[in-house]
Each structure stands twice: as structure tokens, then as C-alpha cells.
Amino acid sequence: MIRLGYCCINLSLKDKKVNRGMIKKTFLSKGLNYCSELAEQNLIDTFDIIKWNVDNNIFVYRLSSNIFPWFSEYNLEDLPNFNNIKSTLCQIGKFILENNVRVGFHPGPFNVLASEKYQVVDNTVFEINQHSKILDMMGLPKNPYYGINIHINNSKPNKASALQRFEDNFSKLSNSSQKRLTIENDDKQSLYTPLDLIKLSNRIKEKYGCLLPVVFDNLHYSIHSDLLCPTFIVSECSKTWSDLTPLIHWSSSKKIHEDPSCLQIAHADYVYDKIVLPNGNFDVEIEAKCKDLSLLNYIKNYQNI
């Protein structure tokens, strides 16, 4: 069975926003009080979006990493309205569990666990831990089903050394982060294919005894592949998920389908490529600029799913 979902923003609910933030100057002048206000609003709207999803038969949803503005700069417990926030998180988590919803995060490209710079690694560890704290406060089980997905995003001076740094720095993550982390294949020749990541996953399992599942992304694979058919590679990735339903990213290239002047890696507004996966259970996050609209549009075009 395939379940479809989308990422962060809901375009059907125009007045719901999960991304309220501020520029640095405002953060410095208004501080945690204002962060708190925005976070509370973002959370309430996140809850409404998840409820809307369930009403519309959508059970997979990527949470926005911008629910808490500037959360790389403070501890969540230090927010003035932390009690409200915590109770909202609990309610959301309860709803998620009761309705069989799957949520997860995809922190931004600035999170580079394999960086050569200690400061970058430290910042990354803190920010990933912040993400896992949110999932923990929701009361969601500590496993990659409620995951935090990142790219390796570094290959200096070569892939082997970067992978070694990733493996070493994995130890710096909190226990919850270690249990939730997943890794995704890249869209650049110098970076990592699914098979590269499966090897890394096996090394992490050997060294730390935890799963580090591989999230397969079809658009990235079309740009940087293992020269093996996607369906086969998806089944290989599935093994890194043990008995958990694998997460898949699916999208189409904007260059090919909508605007030739774009780079091939840019995401299209809608999904033009039929979702083809091996038999079995899969949760698919559609990465298209038109979000829930592209999901609904896809379902309309491919009724047989």
C-alpha cells in the first residue's frame, strides 16, 4: 500500500501558516517573547493542517522546521509560554497516534554532520537535537518512522573521509536523534547515491547498533544514480528500514516539465512522473511547489493508485 503526503505548507488552507518567522534584527530586538508567540501560532496551524489532512485522507506530512523561529539559538524550555507549547505538542502527538498519521522533519541544508568545521558540526548536532525534542514532546516513539531526514552534503576532500566524519560525529547526537535520523540520496555527482548510503547505514548499525534508514528520492536518483533500476534500488533501501514502512521522496524536474531555463534539480510545481515502487508498504512525501494541490492533482490523474 502506498500512502501519499506533502511537505509543510498547505495551499488549500490559505490562512494557516506554519512558517512565521523573523529576520535577525527583529529576533535581536524582540527576543524569546516574540518567538514564543509565533511558535504558538505556527503550532496551532500545524495541528489544523494535520486535522485537515486526515479529513482529506492524507496520513503523511512533513513538519516545518520553522515552527520555532531561531530555535538554534535557545532551549525550547526557555520560551515564556513553554507550558502552552508543550501541551499543544502533546495534543498534536496524541492526534497523530490515534489517527495513524506519520510525520517527520527534514532540517535545512545547513545541517552538515560531516562538515570539516567543528562549529558547523556543533550547530548541526544542536539543531537536530532540537528537532528530536519536538517529536519527543509530542510523545512519538523514538524511531525513524517519526524521523529526522538529512543529507550528508559534504565530500571534502573526498567521499570516504566525509563518510568517516559522519560516522564519528553520529556519536555526538542525542540518543533520541540517533534513533530518529535518516539519510537521503543526493542530486549531485560528487555526493552520495543510495548504495553509498546503504553502506554507511550498515556501518552505523555495526558501530552504534541503531538503524540509519535510507530515504530514496526519485528526482535525485534520476540525476545521480547507481546505474541500477530504481525499483531494485528502492527494495535495497527498504532493507535499511527493517520492519518500518520506508519513506520515499517523489517529485518531477521543473526543467523537464515546466521551465527549460531551470536547473534539472529544481522541483516542479506538480508531479508528472508516475509513482512506481516495488510491492509493499511505502509512505511517499511529494515534493512539489504546489504542495497539497499537487498531491490532490496527482490522485485525480492516477485514480488507480
Partner DNA sequence: CCAGGTCAAGGGAGT
Partner DNA sequence: ACTCCCTTGACCTGG
Binding site for DNA (CB under 7 A): 7-9, 17, 19-26, 38, 62, 64-66, 69-70, 72-73, 106-110, 112, 115-117, 119-120, 127, 151, 153-156, 184, 187-191, 217, 249, 254, 262-263, 265-267, 287, 289
Between 205 and 257, whose beta carbon lies closer to DNA?
257
Q: Kindly tell me which of 100 and 119 has the beta carbon lying closer to DNA.
A: 119
| Assigned C-alpha cell, 234 | 528502492
Question: In terms of CB distance, is 9 or 44 closer to DNA?
Answer: 9
Helix (H) or strand (E) holding 165: helix 159-169
Closer CB to DNA, 236 or 269, in the complex:
269
Q: Give Cβ neighbours of residue 212 (< 8 Å, ≥ 6 apart).
A: 144, 170, 181, 182, 183, 200, 201, 204, 205, 240
Residue position matching grid coordinates 518500518 = 244
Minimum distance, C-beta of residue 66 to DNA, in the bound complex (Å): 5
**To which H or E segment does residue 181 belong?**
strand 181-184
Shortest reach from residue 78's CB to DNA, in Å: 16
- Nearest to DNA of 217, 283 (CB atom): 217
Q: Please, which residue, 106 or 180, has the CB nearer to DNA?
A: 106
Beta carbon of residue 152, minimum distance to DNA (angstroms, whole number): 9
**Count of CA atoms in the C-beta half-sphere (13 A) of 109:** 4
* 159/205 with CB nearer DNA: 159
Q: What is the DSSP string of 236-250?
A: HHHHTTTTSPPEEEE
Name the nearest CA neighbour of 106 among 273, 266, 247.
247
Residues linked to residue 7 through DSSP beta bridges, in sequence order: 62
DSSP state of 280: S
The sign of the torsion formed by the CA atoms of 81, 111, 4, 241 equals negative
What distances in angstroms separate CA 151 from CA 91, 127, 234, one per listed residue? 30, 14, 17
d(CA 179, CA 236): 20
CA atoms within 13 A on the CB side of 67: 26
- Nearest approach in angstroms of CB 115 to DNA is 3
To DNA, the closest distance from the beta carbon of 285 in angstroms equals: 7
Least distance from C-beta 16 to DNA, angstroms?
Answer: 10
We find the least distance from the C-beta atom of residue 106 to DNA, in angstroms, to be 5
Least Cβ distance, residue 168 to DNA (angstroms): 15
16 in Cβ contact with 61 (< 8 Å): no
Q: Which residue, 201 or 251, has its beta carbon nearer to DNA?
A: 251
